[in-house]
Structure 1
Amino acid sequence: MNIKRSIRIAIENRKKDGVPVVENVPIRLQVFFGGKRIDFTTGYRIDAAKWDSAKQRVKNNVTNKQKQSALQINTDIARYEAYINEIFQDFEGKGTEPTPEQVKEAFAEKLNPTPQKKQKSQATRGKAKKSDLFVVFDEFVKECGVQNDWTESTYEKFAAVKNHLTAFKKGLTFEFFDQYGLNEYVSYLRDTRGMRNSTIGKQMGFLKWFLKWSFKKGHTKNNAYDMFKPKLKSTPKKVIYLTWEELEQLRDYEIPPTKQYLERVRDVFLFLCFTGLRYSDVFNLRRSDVKENHIEITTVKTADSLIIELNNHSRAILDKYKDVAFEHYKVLPVITNQKMNDYLKELAELAGIDEPVRETYYKGNERIDVVSPKYALLGTHAGRRTFICNALSLDISPQVVMKWTGHSDYKAMKPYIDIADKVKANAMDKFNKL
């Protein structure tokens, strides 16, 4: 049985002496089903200017007259909505439609359980195995790090996860992370930490990995994470790369005498653009890896063994530095990734790589569009993307490109294939101008 229903959260439409009241207005929850309407009070008030009627939530980073934060109010609103849906799901399971009075009684019970239910709940919690969440987290990182051979960057990601959890709430426990606690954490990441939805999705993925491991190890009996799937609007990540014309523009740019340090940066970046290697693999490239017509490497990130043929462009860069002795028998003058990213932006700006690029992302339901010049978005990984996009645009088959790059999943190549198809379609359109 499926009971059709809708839930509406709104501030009261009040008037005083014929004038709308806009300050300290009560927030109401309304439920509509079967031609009936039930009104609930949330216990919160807010100024009309601080209420987002489209999102049916308090606007981010504000407080009401009682100094209650948007995070606190919105978290409770989400909890109340979850209560309502649980109540209807219970009646659906019984095959009956509730009366408004039954819904009100069930909701009141959710908010304030009877003493018998409280005692039962406390007894159940008392029997559960208690583990210090952060002690277990350290065990998780240690065990999974060794088993999965984590890279330094993966350890850093989980250190950040721990920092977020520590800052989120004191005395955090496994029991806290039921669906309401998980929703509260999502709200915290969005409203307090200011994260985009895509970043929140990654953070929740890391947290669920930890909670799943803890459940399997018997540290907790709470597996609410398994059914928790928050709706986080997101858009595909923008693929930042250089077209063939931009690549030539960058290569042919005459670097000023006062900025000759940019020449080596350009050479290393061009090598990435003509081989498809990651920065980490070029950083570790040794003379013993370079053969007559190809290079042989075992990638740092995935431990794939790759053979990548040299073309005239990549070979010319290797020849330029073949007589230069670098530390540890390195092939190219590769500096730190951070410095190279900074210098690359500087170089691209000087070379006029300034096409406007629009990036779209979401924070909650808020769509945010940011337009930046392409040079401001360039990093070392753009070299690998440039290689893939241009190779596909030259009609080199995806299967061949995947052998060079080490991609094993065709799905990972799809964004690049879509770009190549657009490039070829635009190229064909040039005939229409003849």
Structure 2
Amino acid sequence: MKYTLNVLFVLRKAQSDKRGFAPIYLRISVNGERAELSVNRKIAPKKWDAKLQRAIGRSEAARALNDYLDSLENQVKKNFNKLLDNEEEISSAILRDMQTGKYIKNHTLLSVFEMNNQLVEQEEGSKYSRSTIDQYKTTLSRLKLFLEQQYACKDMALTKLDLTFIRRFEIFLKTEYGIHHNTIMKHLKQVKKVIHFAMEMGYIDRDPFFSHKTAYKNVSRDYLTADELHSIETHTFRIKRLEQVKDVFLFVCYTGLSYSDLKTLTRDNLSKGIDGKTWIVYERKKTDVQARIPLLPMAQALIDKYENDPECSAENKILPVRSNQKLNSYLSEIAEICGISKHITMHLGRHTFATTVTLTNGVPIESVSKMLGHTSLKTTQIYSKVIDNKVSKEMEDLSKVLESNKKKGENGNEKSGNNKIAL
């Protein structure tokens, strides 16, 4: 945005004192918008040159006054250039407040966002995972593009944020990136978290997005069927990396671990449970909730397989876990080789554990919720909604019971009738 600055000194003759001295005011104009303040100096109107806006004459008093006015004008221009160089908001009111010392810098959205990201990154591994940090960075980069395209600016004062801003950002994410509703909600929640951080720091006294709701939509969680899981499990890959990725994925299918938790898992997380068997005990990074998972024989076999693996032993790891990006890339290859049309990811393995491995086989949803490390049973219930096979089997069993009861009732009536005839 282009700015035009004008600095004038005007004499207020109407406010002259008893001696006839009129006060001098500094008038600052930015793009035609005015702001004035007294310079705390007075002069007789006949000694004032309205055209030059300075005192007339070469007396010591005139020179001192003119030097003072020159310094004020230079200070205004210096402040103007400073704001311009920093690409900060500029207005006549801001320049006036900078002269009087009343100016409080308007903290901007992107500068506070970057400050938040720096603090978040310092807590990587203790409070925040790498994926969460990357999400903050992605939201920041998309905010920058949004401001450039929609507001023609490189940053925006927090005080200027309103519901229109967040709504426009929501539409921008949908049209510019074509992402789904829940992904958009994640970006909006990141922005709201930064706003709350700004409020805690005292940079803003209200939440401009208070009445905006960021609600997620319930979506079907895809998972592997028993047959699809079996096809991967029984396939032997000649390429070592694919065989290792298969093992890591199957381990997730039989434990329900998320990638971020699997990545940090060590042999120290293995312990003997109440049943004398091996359990995985860890705290979920996402929720800080302790999860305790009894190892199924399939999962135990995979741990045993890599017990003496040099790579795992060097890092005290249970399995050779690569980056999530590489694992998901290799899983696409595995899906194609095994003839599976679904988009397989590491997280789909977690869904498979919740549905195909546990809930479908009658494990109570409360137990599954604890093993998954969920903080609410409602989160786990999302998985239970998609188990059509289990529902079908239970209804089939119920039908058999009802049919059996019906036949018993009919037989009982027949015997009762025969007895009456005999009498």
Q: Same fold (TM over 0.5)?
A: yes
Q: Is the aligned partner of 1:351 residue 2:331? A: no
Match of 1:395 in 2: 362
SS at match of 1:381: helix
Q: Which amino acid aligns with 2:294?
A: E
Out of 283, 290, 296, the position equivalent to 1:311 is 296
Q: Is the aligned partner of 1:207 residue 2:194? A: no
Deviation at 1:221, TM superposition (A): 4.5
Q: Is the aligned partner of 1:272 residue 2:256? A: no
Match of 2:306 in 1: 321
Deviations 1:258-295 (A, max 9, x none): x3432221111111111112223333333343346213
Q: Which amino acid aligns with 2:354?
A: I
TM-score, scaled to structure 2: 0.60
Structure 1 unaligned residues grouped into runs of 5+ = 1-114, 116-121, 355-373
2: CA distance, partners of 1:224 / 1:314: 49
Deviation at 1:190, TM superposition (A): 2.4
Q: Which amino acid aligns with 1:268?
A: V
1: CA distance, partners of 2:261 / 2:168: 40
Deviation at 1:237, TM superposition (A): 2.9
Q: Is the aligned partner of 1:130 residue 2:106? A: yes
Q: Is the aligned partner of 1:250 residue 2:228? A: no
Q: Which amino acid aligns with 1:244?
A: A
Q: Is the aligned partner of 1:241 residue 2:223? A: yes
2: CA distance, partners of 1:280 / 1:245: 27
TM-score, scaled to structure 1: 0.58
Q: Cα–Cα, structure 1 residues 176 and 399, in superposed 2: closer, same or farther, change >3 Å?
A: same
1: CA distance, partners of 2:325 / 2:181: 25
Contact 2:306 2:319 in 1 (8 A): yes
Q: Cα–Cα, structure 1 residues 334 and 223, in superposed 2: closer, same or farther, change >3 Å?
A: closer
1: CA distance, partners of 2:110 / 2:225: 47
Q: Cα–Cα, structure 1 residues 156 and 399, in superposed 2: closer, same or farther, change >3 Å?
A: same
Q: Cα–Cα, structure 1 residues 408 and 182, in superposed 2: closer, same or farther, change >3 Å?
A: closer
2: CA distance, partners of 1:344 / 1:320: 20
Match of 2:378 in 1: 411
SS at match of 1:241: coil
Deviations 1:30-54 (A, max 9, x none): xxxxxxxxxxxxxxxxxxxxxxxxx
Contact 2:360 2:389 in 1 (8 A): yes
2: CA distance, partners of 1:427 / 1:305: 33
Q: Greater Rg, structure 1 or structure 2?
A: 2
SS at match of 2:385: helix
Out of 123, 126, 131, the position equivalent to 1:153 is 131
Q: Which moved more, 1:411-420 or 1:274-283?
A: 274-283
Alignment map for 1:101-120 (pairs within 5 Å): none
1: CA distance, partners of 2:350 / 2:229: 13
Contact 1:341 1:378 in 2 (8 A): yes
Deviations 1:111-138 (A, max 9, x none): xxxx9xxxxxx979x8886223333223
Contact 1:128 1:220 in 2 (8 A): no
SS at match of 1:306: strand
Match of 1:185 in 2: 169
Q: Which amino acid aligns with 2:302?
A: I
Match of 2:74 in 1: none
Q: Cα–Cα, structure 1 residues 321 and 208, in superposed 2: closer, same or farther, change >3 Å?
A: closer
Q: Which amino acid aligns with 2:374?
A: H
Q: Is the aligned partner of 1:297 residue 2:284? A: no
Deviation at 1:202, TM superposition (A): 1.8
Deviation at 1:300, TM superposition (A): 5.3
SS at match of 2:210: helix
Deviation at 1:394, TM superposition (A): 1.0
Contact 2:181 2:217 in 1 (8 A): no
Out of 341, 351, 363, the position equivalent to 1:385 is 351
Q: Percent identity at matched positions?
A: 27
Contact 1:294 1:307 in 2 (8 A): no
Alignment map for 1:214-229 (pairs within 5 Å): 214-221=198-205, 223-229=207-213
Q: Which amino acid aligns with 1:239?
A: R
Deviations 1:92-114 (A, max 9, x none): xxxxxxxxxxxxxxxxxxxxxxx
Q: Which amino acid aligns with 1:197?
A: H
1: CA distance, partners of 2:268 / 2:113: 41
Q: Which moved more, 1:287-296 or 1:394-403?
A: 287-296
Deviation at 1:167, TM superposition (A): 1.7
Q: Which amino acid aligns with 2:228?
A: E
1: CA distance, partners of 2:339 / 2:157: 53
Deviation at 1:398, TM superposition (A): 1.4
Q: Which amino acid aligns with 1:217?
A: M
Q: Cα–Cα, structure 1 residues 142 and 310, in superposed 2: closer, same or farther, change >3 Å?
A: same
SS at match of 2:293: strand
SS at match of 2:159: coil
1: CA distance, partners of 2:366 / 2:284: 22
The number of aligned residues is 289
Contact 2:112 2:194 in 1 (8 A): no
1: CA distance, partners of 2:395 / 2:292: 36
Out of 391, 399, 402, the position equivalent to 1:425 is 391
Deviation at 1:180, TM superposition (A): 2.5
Q: Is the aligned partner of 1:339 residue 2:321? A: no
Deviation at 1:429, TM superposition (A): 7.1
Contact 2:269 2:282 in 1 (8 A): no
Match of 1:166 in 2: 144
Deviation at 1:165, TM superposition (A): 1.9
Match of 1:112 in 2: none
1: CA distance, partners of 2:129 / 2:240: 34
SS at match of 1:387: helix
Q: Which moved more, 1:324-333 or 1:407-416?
A: 324-333
